[in-house]
Amino acid sequence: MKALSALLRAGLLASTTLVLLLPDPAHAAPITVSNAGYWLETVGTNTIGIAAGGTPAGTVTSLFVANTDPLAGTTATASLPSGATTAPVVDPTGLWARRALNPNAAQLAPLTVVFSNGPDQASFTGRDLTGLVAMPLVAGLSVNAAGNPLRPIVSWNLPAGAGDVDFIQIVFYNDDTNLEIGNRVTRPGDTTSFQFASDLPLNFNFVINVRLIDLAVDGDPFVSGNIQRQSRAYINYTSPVPEPTTALLLAGGLAGLGWLQLQRRANRNGRPLWGKAACPGPLDKP
């Protein structure tokens, strides 16, 4: 009887412990929204699928972006005052995005996005974009590789009618994967050129994106939530392929270095690399 009581007490304790360890849905961690923004954006012709490939004069769009934590299991619904709703999607980097091409006045009204994950919800409301003039693309975007093709110079002209340009940002993409690579470079709004500070990898297909950015509140931090207008112009650049003679010399040099390393090891161990014993010489010095 005592043994049975002990077993029952142990079972009750284990059950209580299990209940205490189970997550309580009513007290789950709330959804955190970060890097959220909503702005008017002009997208130039591109090969990486932004705004359906853009157009030479620029496709005008409205763009919402945000990150959420958690991402897994979270859903999102975007709505306008008109009652129209859409579902933002998650891009390969885990960023929520919702882009409207050629938006009409009603589609430029403040956008509200509600995120849900189980019983938890969080929301973001973007600014009213009505009445804003779309930011034009930079003009004359070009890449000059004459001096050093591994450190080319990217140049452009500021367009007429751009209005307030607070920052210029240069962003890089892999044209084969359509994914952003490297670090973004941010420059003052009157910048008209940029040169790579280090050698690019050989035979690599880049897409170089030059963005003009207008902040909603000048002097406030440059963050997603403070962007009201932006334009994106693109240009493609492929870094040079090594010349055949250079490639052969490089391959031969690497092979020679590898052979010498094997030779040194063989000599130190007193074993021949091929057939005969290796003779000591200058290459055997440490």
Give the tens place of pLDDT for each residue, 179-231.
999 999 999 999 999 999 999 999 999 999 999 999 999 999 999 999 999 99
Q: Where are the beta strands (DSSP E) in 158-204?
A: 167-174, 180-188, 193-195
DSSP 102: S
Is residue 152 within 8 Å of 196, Cβ to Cβ?
yes
Torsions phi, psi of 199, nearest 5?
-65, 135
Is residue 229 within 8 Å of 189, Cβ to Cβ?
no
What architecture is the 139-216+232-238 domain classified under in CATH? Sandwich (2.60)
70: which residues sit within 8 A by CB, 6+ positions away? 29, 31, 117
Domain ranges of the chain: 30-125, 139-216+232-238, 254-284
Q: How far apart are the C-alpha atoms of 90 and 74, rounded to whole Å?
A: 10
Q: What is the pLDDT of residue 22?
A: 41
**139-216+232-238: same fold as 30-125?**
yes
Q: How far apart are the C-alpha atoms of 14 and 282, rounded to whole Å?
A: 75
Q: Is residue 251 over pLDDT 90?
A: no
Q: How far apart are the C-alpha atoms of 252 and 246, rounded to whole Å?
A: 10
127-184 confidence digits (pLDDT tens): 999 999 999 999 999 999 999 999 999 999 999 999 999 999 999 999 999 999 999 9
DSSP H or E segment with residue 19: helix 2-21
228-239 confidence digits (pLDDT tens): 999 999 999 999
Number of Cβ within a 10 Å radius of residue 144: 13
The whole model's pTM is what?
Answer: 0.77
CATH, domain range 30-125: 2.60.40
